[in-house]
Amino acid sequence: MAVLDIVRLGHPALRTPAREVPSEEIGSPALERLIDDLVETMRAAGCGGLSAPQVGAGSQVFVYEVPPSEAPPATPPQSSAPPAEAVPLTIVVNPVLHGKPGQMVHDWEGCSSVPDLLGLVPRHPEVRLRGLDREGQPVDRVVSGLESRIVQHEHDHLNGIVFLDRMRDLKSLTYSSEWSSFVDRGERGERTAVV
């Protein structure tokens, strides 16, 4: 396993749709190495998810995980937002998402490929995630909350989309240091997802 460089906004890999992984490549040494490197890189960067395009690879693969020690609590304590739960390591190849109809939820997001910036991004509160795991076994489940946000963020990367493209109003765009100083004062119930 290796910690790879995470490409930043401006690199063409972030704006190029990723190719579907052919069934004969699943389980191949090259794909296994990519998945292991994605996991290692995600953990080294301290982010909740990472897609292949973020390391310059053009395959429809992403990984995500929120260890128990890193699951952010709902803020402020009286917030109606449920606390975030730990999410086990998940690998998804050739993912397909189906958003549940209904009102979108705005929440704070950041991205390892757009370092130091955060913004309010509307996402479906719940999505159906379908695809394959690293062994080629089907993944088919409904995810919600922070996991849903991470999945949608990573899926966007596979389509050449970054979180800035999803923001409806750039007035919320802020540097993470300024967010900590001026925005995160308990007036809002949002949690930050940096993926």
Tokens of 21: 């992984």
Dihedral sign of CA atoms 153, 157, 160, 164 in order = positive
Count Cβ atoms below 10 Å from residue 74 Cβ, excluding itself: 15
Q: Are 17 and 40 in contact (CB under 8 A)?
A: no
Cis preceding-peptide flag for 67 (omega within 30 of 0): no
Q: In what order do the strands lie in the sheet with 87-99?
A: 49-51, 61-66, 87-99, 126-132, 138-144
Q: Which amino acid is at 123?
A: R
Annotated catalytic residue 25: no
Supply the DSSP string of 89-136, one letter for each residue. Answer: EEEEEEEEEEEPSS--EEEEEEETTEEEEEEEEEE-SEEEEEEE-TTS
Q: Are 165 and 107 in contact (CB under 8 A)?
A: no
The one catalytic residue among 85, 154, 178, 190? 154
Residues with a known catalytic role: 154
